[in-house]
Amino acid sequence: MMTIKKVPTVVSLNQEEDQPAGCGRRCLNTCCTIGARMPLYAYAKRPCTKPERIQSYTELDGGGFQPGFLGATTSYASYDDLLSIRESLSSSDDDSLSSGGASDIHDDDAFSLRKHITSEWEKKFQEGLFRYDVTACESKVIDGPLGFIAQLNEGRHSKKRPTEFRVDKVLQEFDGSKFNFTKVGQNEMLFRFEEGKDEESRFYEAAVVEESPSIMAINVSPIDYGHVLLVPRVLDKIPQRMDEASLLMALRLASEVNDPAFRIGYNSLGAFATINHLHFQAYFLDLPFAIERAAWRDVAVSTNDCKVGELTYYPVKTMVFQAGSSLEQMASAAAAACCKLQEENIPFNMFIVDRGMRLFLIPQRYAERQAKGEISQELLDTQVNPAVFEISGHIVCKRREDYDSATEAWTWRLLEAVSLNDEGFDVVRTICVKALAASAEAIEMGRGGAGVKGKAEFESDAAGAWVDFAAVKGGVVQPALQLA
């Protein structure tokens, strides 16, 4: 068994308390939730919708930075560019919120989920629920073509004694004796986020909880403004493992927030998740992440225009999924790939951008290498944990000296230690393409992708094997590039 010593991130003020749930604290366990009235954002039930093509940091069709080449499909975003995008989104927003009952989000007096998250987050800040003021943290863009962002966040560093975490097992059983999100106080919750029964999204100021709720809560140790947690079906006590329904919920959250500055991240066990209770993290950042600027190329495309690609210029080998005519198909394909990575015990991170239209799947081995003593002491001394946001380009520095001296070369060296080797990444690439093929074939057969759910049949491939496209019925997936 391989372990590393790490100080667990404190995401809740109740995390360090050793109190039993249901003690009258208004927790999120069954005793305090079922039958209670809580705010609810019920997003529209829209199966197999066609997402809008959006303006973003790079063109969706393989844009990004590539050294020595500025292609016609490449575009760049500055801080001012992003603000103009957000202002265009805000032009239809209204700050009003009805005092009771439901708000129909698509009426003229539209309810803005983005504004609701930020206003509620700021209320929690005023109530003193955060461990530090993240808005006071210094940040800078590191000089270089990819524009990595460094933040000095000394408050995120804890002097608590390090805990041993097992890093050689991605799938682990839920342990109720350890901290989990049922122990979070309701004062840290923002609202429930669940699929509704209507064709329009609606917000309810107080709706009775009848079954396991999916909740949005603050992260009391924020990385940046509006840092929140999405915990699907909190009472089901699902361990930190990906499934299609939960991924689709995260994609719908990104779509409903409708702001390119809002990104969602996921860390598996072994990839710096320290709480074994299913959750996603998200926050707002008014700058492009380096991974969004990176060049990428298509690897396979389905008849529904869902794409699988890979980054071509980035320190961490990364797969890309992009939605076509069906957000559900991308969720099905990406979740199937994640389930296979979990079965194969390959830790990974996921980064959701473009309002849910695109996601990056990032297999990694940093913690394993750390446990084996293969990471240099120089990198370990920085105490930078390369989880999803760090890998994507937002480097949280805990020491002034690292922040002041950060360069793109130093950042590249840190992130290179995360990446799989070529042989390992060949296996991941094959898994992703086969997952896309399975989801596309399911849709072609009229099952709408529902038959995949991470349980698609995968052959046991040798490293470097490639999918036989001729064997895929109906030609639903076509290779976008030939591999030697």
Q: Which amino acid is at 65?
A: F
Residue 389 makes CB contacts below 8 A (sequence gap 6+) with 223, 265, 281, 351, 396
Burial class (CB in 10 A: 0-12, 13-18, 19+), 186: middle
Q: What is the DSSP string of 71-92?
A: -TT-----HHHHHHHHHHHHTT
Tokens of 224: 């940046």
Contact (Cβ atoms closer than 8 angstroms) between residue 232 and residue 192 = no
Write down the H helix ranges in 344-406.
Answer: 366-371, 377-381, 388-392, 400-405
H or E element that contains 248: helix 244-257
Burial class (CB in 10 A: 0-12, 13-18, 19+), 325: middle
**DSSP designation for 344:** T
Instruction: Point out the residues that are catalytic.
Output: 279
Contact (Cβ atoms closer than 8 angstroms) between residue 110 and residue 93 = yes
95 vs 103: CA distance, rounded Å: 12
